[in-house]
Copies of this chain bind each other. A is one copy, B any other.
């Protein structure tokens, strides 16, 4: 097992190491969502959701596009994320 891009990989893990961000990512795995959608589902303050989305974006897990005055967030590598979560869900 060779780890070439270790920084990138630890970044991915860091991004998903917070329970709120994990929930956000699990939601985005279903479909793209704007910030207020996420806010309603997760039940956390808007500013905090935005902060977590910024972290996820910083580590390359998500990206977003404008849609009116909303921003629509989506997974950059949906299949990778889904497979990883599936593997861990199956764990023991």
Binding site for B on A (CB under 8 A): 1-10, 12-14, 16-19, 22-23, 26-27, 29-30, 77, 80, 82-92
Asked if residues A84 and B77 are in contact (CB atoms below 8 Å), the reply is: no
Copies in the complex: 2
Chain B residues lying within 8 Å of A16, measured Cβ to Cβ, are: 9-10, 13
A55 to B89, CA, bound (A): 21
Which of A8, A18, A19, A29 counts the most chain B CB atoms within 10 A? A19
Chain B proximity of A32: nearest CB distance (Å): 13
Chain B residues lying within 8 Å of A18, measured Cβ to Cβ, are: 10
Chain B residues lying within 8 Å of A84, measured Cβ to Cβ, are: 84, 87-88
Which of A29, A84, A85 counts the most chain B CB atoms within 10 A? A84
Chain B proximity of A68: nearest CB distance (Å): 27
